[in-house]
Every structure is written in structure tokens, then in C-alpha cells.
Amino acid sequence: MSGHLLQGKRSIRRGFTLVELVVVVLILGILAAVAAPRMFDTAGNARDSSTRQSLAVVRDAIQLYRSQNTAYPASASSLPDDISTYLAGSFPACQVGNANANIREATSATEITTASGTQGWAYYPATGEFVVNDDSAIDW
């Protein structure tokens, strides 16, 4: 009988206290605050990678054109048509900065190193340089 009385007085703990739940929620909130910026910047990283890949493809196509024609394409306006046979699709759009497939023609070697206008790309026919027309990515 004494064992039965002791068992009734003993409280059996089931579940979590409010303090324990608050601590867990705070820890999860801190982890989310640290991890969220890294996870949400993946779209920006994907745009950068896509633009770098497009830049490499167009530069390769320009070099192929030059090797077969002994000169670079004559102008920015004719560039997409001139290198179309070396591309496996349409001329790519720039995904960063001025996101479009328009090409600005640079008239000097120094002009190609600075971004201007609203075109996505910049091309200098004298040297065949092809760059992103945006200050944050012009040195790619």
C-alpha cells in the first residue's frame, strides 16, 4: 500500500516546458538568419554563371569567325548574324546589368573598358573584344 501512495505523489513529467520551446525557437531563428542570405542569393549566382557562360560562347564564336574570315566581324550590328553559324541557337541575352541581347559598339580600346548606354553587351570590332556592358561585370 505504501508503494501505491508514493506513486500517486510522484509527478511524471510529460512534454516540454515553455522555456524549452522558446529556446529551441530562438536557436532555429538564429540559424535561419545566418543561412537565409546564402540560400536566397542563388538566383543572383545563377544569373552570373549564365552570363559568364554566354560570354565565353560568344567569344569563342568570334574567334572561330576570325579564323575562317581573317578578320573580326565588322560591327556590333552585324555581329549576331556574322557568328550565328557558330552558335547552337539564338544570340544570348546578357543576364546581369542591362539584361538584354543588344550590343553597344565601342569605338576605342578605352571605351570598351567602361560601361555606358542600355545595351547588355559591348563589342570592339578592331580587337574582337566582347564584354558585359555593366560596371560590375565588365572585367569578366
Dump pLDDT digits (tens) for 26-59.
999 999 888 887 777 788 888 999 999 999 999 9
Query: Quick one: pLDDT at residue 1?
Result: 52
Query: Quick one: pLDDT at residue 41?
Result: 78
Residue 93: domain span: 38-132
Measure the CA–CA gap between 86 and 60, rounded to whole angstroms: 8
What's the structural domain count of the chain? 1
Query: Quick one: pLDDT at residue 42?
Result: 83
Measure the CA–CA gap between 93 and 99, rounded to whole angstroms: 7
User: Residue 140: inside a domain, yes or no?
Assistant: no
User: Residue 1: inside a domain, yes or no?
Assistant: no
Query: Quick one: pLDDT at residue 11?
Result: 66
Measure the CA–CA gap between 61 and 137, rounded to whole angstroms: 20
Q: How far is CA 24 from CA 17, 31, 61, 79, in A?
A: 11, 11, 56, 59
Regions of the chain short of the pLDDT cut 50: none
User: Residue 26: inside a domain, yes or no?
Assistant: no
Measure the CA–CA gap between 118 and 101, rounded to whole angstroms: 10
Measure the CA–CA gap between 75 and 86, rounded to whole angstroms: 17
Q: What is the b/e burial string over 75-90, where b = at least 16 CB atoms within 10 angstroms of the residue's CB?
A: ebeebbebbeeebeee
Cell numbers found for residue 11: 509527478
User: Residue 137: inside a domain, yes or no?
Assistant: no
| Residue matched to cell numbers 575562317 | 68
User: Residue 13: inside a domain, yes or no?
Assistant: no
Query: Quick one: pLDDT at residue 140?
Result: 85
Query: Quick one: pLDDT at residue 4?
Result: 55
